[in-house]
């Protein structure tokens, strides 16, 4: 079995897991939540093997590089990062309803990688700009941060849905969700986690840029938007610590921040030209 087949199975697995978690949320059935967790764990293992096999296949082809070099591979790693972060989150907070708001992000990422127009799924040799030991460090730190921000966005949506619900009955759909204070606390901690990793990603990127192009910062569109994204989350945390912002404000900032992440990830690649334009291939 090839890596492409395993990653294709992963796409279907995350679709099924998303459906099961959403069903758990809607119908309030604990058994389906357990099934969702089982599917997620199994699919995560399959995807991990698929990523490892793709790495091995690159060596067989004589290229020998980590599967993080183009848009397809980054989307696969993005979804993988979301799932590992979600699994840890579910283990810590013992709440499977979070999956209804987090796992669909992983499915969308895999679906776009599999079926997106212009996405090259072939294993190709690294272009000179990517031939660096900093590749793995930079991609891993950035995408772990992106994954945390994706989950924070889902949590923000969860908070707003519960906070704006008109039905206060204990039997209402929203009553199955965690308390608002709990959601707010998880969102805040998730943003902190993502912010630290994004900071690491910017630092490793700067060091890589210096070794590749002789300058730590060149105001390339990707660099500029990474900095804008960093400032959005820095402002969010600053407002939390100094102004006591919480609740809907933080929820909206988590959503807005993720839009900035997505533009940094996709918009820059497809709409703006620069040193990072190779990421669209």
Confidence of residue 277 (pLDDT cuts 50, 70, 90): low
pLDDT for 193 = 96
pLDDT for 168 = 55
Mean pLDDT of 186-203: 96
Domain ranges in the chain are 1-69+94-113, 127-281
pLDDT for 16 = 97
Of the two residues 219 and 47, the one the predictor is more confident about is 47
Mean pLDDT of 17-43: 93
Q: Is the pLDDT of residue 280 over 80?
A: no
pLDDT for 281 = 45
Residue 29 to residue 17: CA distance in whole angstroms: 14
- Label residue 118 exposed, middle or buried (CB < 10 Å: 0-12, 13-18, 19+): exposed
Q: What percent of the chain has pLDDT over 90?
A: 63
Residue 264 to residue 252: CA distance in whole angstroms: 18
Q: Which two tokens stand for residue 64?
A: 């020998």
Of the two residues 221 and 11, the one the predictor is more confident about is 11
Of the two residues 32 and 271, the one the predictor is more confident about is 32
Mean pLDDT of 80-99: 93
Positive or negative, the Cα torsion across 107, 275, 50, 88?
A: negative
Lowest mean pLDDT among 178-187, 198-207, 210-219, 265-274: 265-274
Nearest CA-CA partner of 84 in 52, 47, 111, 115: 47
- Classify 198 in phi/psi space as left (phi over 0), alpha (psi -120 to 50) or beta: alpha
Of the two residues 129 and 227, the one the predictor is more confident about is 227
């Amino acid at each position: 079995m090839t890596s492409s087949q395993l990653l294709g199975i992963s796409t279907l697995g995350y679709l099924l897991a998303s459906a099961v978690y959403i069903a758990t949320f809607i119908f309030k059935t604990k058994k389906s939540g357990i099934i969702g967790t089982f599917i997620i764990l199994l699919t995560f293992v399959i995807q991990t093997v698929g990523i490892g096999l793709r790495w091995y296949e690159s060596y067989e082809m004589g290229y020998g590089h980590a599967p993080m070099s183009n848009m397809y591979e980054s989307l696969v790693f993005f979804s993988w990062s979301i799932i590992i972060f979600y699994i840890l989150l579910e283990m810590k907070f013992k709440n499977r309803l979070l999956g209804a708001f987090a796992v669909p992000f992983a499915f969308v990422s895999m679906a776009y990688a599999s079926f997106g127009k212009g996405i090259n799924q072939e294993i190709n040799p690294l272009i000179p700009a990517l031939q660096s030991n900093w590749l793995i460090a930079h991609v891993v730190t950035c995408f772990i941060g992106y994954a945390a921000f994706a989950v924070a966005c889902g949590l923000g949506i969860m908070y707003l849905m519960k906070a704006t619900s008109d039905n206060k009955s204990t039997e209402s759909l929203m009553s199955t969700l965690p308390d608002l204070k709990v959601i707010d606390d998880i969102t805040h901690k998730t943003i902190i986690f993502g912010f630290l990793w994004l900071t690491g990603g910017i630092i490793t990127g700067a060091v890589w840029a210096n070794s590749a192009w002789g300058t730590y910062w060149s105001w390339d569109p990707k660099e500029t938007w990474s900095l804008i994204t960093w400032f959005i989350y820095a402002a969010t945390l600053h407002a939390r610590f100094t102004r006591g912002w919480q609740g809907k404000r933080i929820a909206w900032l988590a959503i807005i921040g993720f839009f900035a992440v997505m533009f940094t990830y996709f918009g820059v690649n497809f709409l703006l030209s620069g040193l990072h334009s190779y990421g669209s291939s």
